[in-house]
């Protein structure tokens, strides 16, 4: 309880959503657990401050958020080429799978400023819809880049598995309770009825429609596209009220920086 360690991870569920199982199983994560992929791979992170997309009338600027997700997916793809890696093996596999780490921060702050309780069906639906938009737009953008540059080198042996995972994401975005492919445990789907902003629902389903359509035609440039990191340090730089996906645990907080 004092340190929140060790964390618990569910090996079966993790590998059910693995986009590249033909290349090996996922056996572990990074220490913060947002990045789960093959051994000796790495991804660069980028997080969007969600309150930056809140309009004065409390609505969420979906168009601006989609544009930001698309832009930062391209930036992170460029970062794969620009990055320097700690070992030859990590460099080789990172180039082979080209995993990205686009995420968001301050969902707790967004909900508080909107007057919505974090532990509510509406909040869960908003968070689910925003997550669906981010990941769907990022995968659709990845497929667009694959059309221009080719899919990631490890795509072909994993194409059927990756498309299956993307189809399952789309089913969840559409709120389906069943009909998933090769899952030991079905996910909690997006609750359309509970979401107070129907534009979020339309954007979420539309993003996954595009991701499927483009992915089937061109493949994907990146084996993974999104994560939700804790953002404990960059959240301060971005002036977030809350970090990552968690609620606010105190109105006044102090952080000890390492180094």
Active-site residue set: 30, 32, 34
Tokens of residue 139, six digits: 């995968």
Report how far residue 115's alpha carbon sits from residue 132's, in angstroms, rounded to the nearest whole number: 22
> Residue 2: is it exposed, middle or buried by C-beta count within 10 angstroms (0-12/13-18/19+)?
exposed
Distance in angstroms between the alpha carbons of the first and the last residue of the chain: 25
């Amino acid at each position: 309880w004092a340190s929140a360690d060790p964390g618990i991870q569910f090996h079966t569920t993790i590998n059910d959503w693995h986009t590249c199982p033909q290349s090996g199983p996922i056996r572990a994560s990074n220490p913060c657990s947002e990045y789960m992929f093959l051994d000796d791979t790495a991804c660069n992170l980028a997080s969007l401050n969600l309150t930056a997309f809140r309009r004065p009338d409390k609505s969420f600027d979906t168009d601006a958020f989609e544009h930001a997700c698309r832009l930062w997916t391209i930036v992170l793809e460029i970062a794969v080429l620009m990055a320097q890696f700690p070992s030859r093996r990590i460099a080789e596999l990172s180039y082979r799978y080209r995993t990205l780490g686009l995420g968001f921060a301050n969902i707790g702050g967004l909900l508080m400023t909107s007057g919505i309780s974090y532990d509510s069906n509406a909040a869960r639906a908003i968070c689910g819809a925003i997550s669906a938009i981010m990941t769907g737009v990022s995968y659709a953008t990845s497929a667009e880049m694959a059309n221009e540059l080719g899919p990631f080198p490890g795509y072909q042996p994993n194409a059927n598995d990756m498309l299956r995972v993307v189809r399952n994401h789309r089913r969840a975005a559409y709120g389906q309770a069943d009909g998933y492919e090769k899952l030991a445990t079905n996910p909690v789907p997006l609750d359309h009825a509970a979401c107070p902003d129907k534009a979020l629902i339309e954007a979420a389903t539309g993003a996954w429609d595009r991701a499927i359509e483009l992915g089937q035609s061109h493949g994907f440039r990146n084996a993974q596209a999104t994560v939700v990191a804790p953002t404990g340090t960059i959240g301060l730089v971005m002036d977030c009220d809350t970090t990552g996906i968690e609620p606010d645990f105190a109105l006044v907080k102090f952080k000890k920086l390492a180094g």
